[in-house]
Amino acid sequence: MNMPKPVNRLKPVLTLGLAVLAASAAAQTPQFGPTLPPALRTPSGPPPASGPALREQAMQRLKRHFDEADLDADGRLTRQEAERAGLGFVSGRFEQIDQDKRGAVSFGDVRRALPPRAR
């Protein structure tokens, strides 16, 4: 089959371009998985935290979300601030957390409302 001349001239360029892309993609592929021998695996970073370290990471993340949701930076969240920030645990249990009925809760109030294992 005869191809038009412009396509014939582009064919080697396209082939070379695809080969370069494939080689660079293969070079960037991380080596991991259960079928790869451990000696050839690319480390995926530090092992995930567990136990107290995991709870501390979760607390730090919750505190960061709490602080971001505290739009007026007064150290307390209203139900509306919690709802806008997507903090469903806080907005859904607001009356239970706000035991003093102030209309706003501190991070300490939220932390005390968590199940004992999560604190």
Distance, CA of 94 to chain centre: 26
* CA gap 22, 70 in Å, rounded: 48
pLDDT digits (tens, 9 = 90+) for 3-12: 556 656 667 7
Distance, CA of 29 to chain centre: 21
- pTM over 0.85, yes/no: no
pLDDT digits (tens, 9 = 90+) for 77-115: 999 999 999 999 999 999 999 999 999 999 999 999 998
* CA gap 110, 106 in Å, rounded: 6
CATH T-level assignment (fold) for domain 51-118: Recoverin; domain 1 (1.10.238)
